[in-house]
A = this chain, B = another copy of it.
Amino acid sequence: MTYRAINLSEKLGKFSDLWAPKIVAEMNDYEFKLVKFSGDFVWHDHKDTDEVFIVLFGNMEIEFRDGLVQLAAGEMYVIKKGTEHRTRAASECHALLVEPRGVTNTGDAGGDLTAAKDVWV
């Protein structure tokens, strides 16, 4: 039997909406999600979990209350739980997120950019 790998470029080709993470894999109780985004997100934090960004295409910044980190394709960063942050990208950026199942993308901040959960691609 031949099993099939998850091809991240192929998955990225299947959607174009921004700030709307799509699940590509589950590992234990964690989800791996692809997301495309451009512009500024909202300030928020995740009280109960760290969050991982792995940039696949483009460039992004994660702004913190006391500074920022810049990421290019091939770079990753772990946002520690409870740390307020805001992601942004001057032009479209694609990233792989890793976080526990069921995390809300905007934390408790809410607003228009709050995305549906459990959407697979």
Binding site for B on A (CB under 8 A): 1-9, 24-28, 30, 32, 49-52, 54, 62, 64, 66-72, 74-78, 81, 96, 98, 100
On chain B, the residues within 8 Å of A2 by CB distance are 67-70
- In chain B, what residue has the closest Cβ to A51? B27
- CB <8 Å contact, A3 and B67: yes
A9 to B73, CA, bound (A): 10
How distant is A58 from chain B, measured CB to nearest CB, in Å? 13
CA distance A66 to B1 in the complex (A): 6
Can you identify 22 A-B contacts, CB atoms within 8 angstroms? A1-B64, A1-B66, A2-B68, A2-B69, A2-B70, A3-B62, A3-B67, A3-B69, A4-B69, A5-B69, A5-B70, A5-B76, A5-B77, A6-B75, A6-B76, A8-B75, A25-B76, A27-B50, A28-B49, A28-B50, A32-B76, A54-B54
